[in-house]
Amino acid sequence: MDKPDDHAIALSIAQAVEADAELIAALIREEEQARQDFELARQLAHNPNAMAEADGGADHGELDDETYRTLRAFNIAAQHEENTGVEAEPIHEETHEASSVAGGDETDDGNTTDDDPQADAEDQNNREASQDDVFHMDEAEIQAEDSQIDGIQHEDTQEERDADEHPGTAQAASPAHSDLRVGTKECLYCTEEFPEDEVFEAPCSHGMCQPCLIRGIQTAIKDESLFPPKCCGQAIPVNATNAFITEDLLTEYDNKHEEFETTDRKYCSDKACSAFIPLRAIEAGVARCTRCEKRTCLNCLSEAHEGTCIDDPESQRVVRLAEENGWRSCDRCKNMVELTHGCFHISCRCGHQFCYRCGRQWKTCNCPQWEERHLVARAVELAAAQAQARARARALAPVARPVQPPGCRHRNYRPFDRVEGEDECDDYQAVLSPNDDAAQSEPKTRLGGKKNIVFILTDDQDAVLDSVSYMPKLKEHIIDKGTSFVNHFTTTAICCPSRVALWTGKQPHNTNVTDVNPPYGGFPKFVSQGLNENYLPVWLKEAGYKTYYTGKLFNAHTIHNYNSPYPAGWTGTNFLLDPGTYDYLNPIYQHNQEPPVQHKGVHTSDLISKYAHELLKEATDSKNPFFIAIAPVAPHSNVNLRRQPGTPRAPLMTTPIPLERHTHLFEGVKVPRTENFNPDSPSGVSWIHKLAQLNDSSVSYLDEFYRARLQALQGVDEIVEQVTKQLEDAGILDETYIIYSSDNGYHLGQHRLPPGKECGFDEDIRVPLFIRGPGVSSGFIDNAVTTHIDLAPTILRLAGADLRSDFDGTPIPVLPTQENKRHEHVAVEYWGGAIAEGQIGGFDGKGQIFAQNNTYKGVRIVHEDYNLYYSAWCNNEHELYDLKTDPGQLKNLFPHDDAAADTALLGTTSRQVLNRLDALMLVLKSCKGNTCIEPWKILHPEGGVTSLKDALQAKFNAFYKEQVKVRFDRCEYGYLIDAEGPQVGYEYREGLEWHHWT
Residue type, position 985, single letter: G
Q: CA triplet 251, 254, 258: central angle to 5 degrees?
A: 140
Rounded to the nearest 5°, which phi and psi values hold at 677? -80, 115
What span, in angstroms and rounded, lies between the C-alpha atoms of 721 and 217? 52
Question: What is the β-pairing status of strands 452-458 and 626-631?
Answer: parallel
Give yes or no for a contact between 642 and 552, defined as CB atoms under 8 angstroms apart: no
Kind and range of the H or E element at 627? strand 626-631
Question: Which of 762, 44, 168 lies closest to 55 in space, CA to CA?
Answer: 44
Give yes or no for a contact between 889 and 676, defined as CB atoms under 8 angstroms apart: yes
Distance from CA of residue 423 to its chain's centroid?
42
Question: What is the β-pairing status of strands 482-489 and 780-787?
Answer: parallel
Give yes or no for a contact between 705 and 96, defined as CB atoms under 8 angstroms apart: yes
Give yes or no for a contact between 560 and 617, defined as CB atoms under 8 angstroms apart: no
What span, in angstroms and rounded, lies between the C-alpha atoms of 344 and 725? 72
Residue type, position 24, single letter: I
List, in sequence order, the alpha helices (H) in 6-64. Answer: 6-19, 21-46, 49-54
Rounded to the nearest 5°, which phi and psi values hold at 598? -95, 130
What amino acid positions are annotated as catalytic residues? 495
Give yes or no for a contact between 101 and 157, defined as CB atoms under 8 angstroms apart: no
Give yes or no for a contact between 453 and 799, defined as CB atoms under 8 angstroms apart: yes
Q: Is 543 helix (H, G, I), strand (E, B) or coil?
A: coil
Give yes or no for a contact between 136 and 142, defined as CB atoms under 8 angstroms apart: no
Rg of the chain over Cα atoms, rounded to whole angstroms, equals 34
Calculate the alpha carbon distances from 492 to 460, 497, 766, 852, 858 in Å: 12, 7, 10, 17, 10
Distance from CA of residue 686 to its chain's centroid?
22
DSSP 969: S
Per-residue 3-state assignment (H helix, E strand, C coil) for 97-110: CCCCCCCCCCCCCC
- How crowded is residue 84: how many other Cβ atoms within 10 Å of its Cβ? 17
As beta bridge partners, residue 878 has 872
Calculate the alpha carbon distances from 68 to 60, 61, 180 in Å: 7, 10, 15
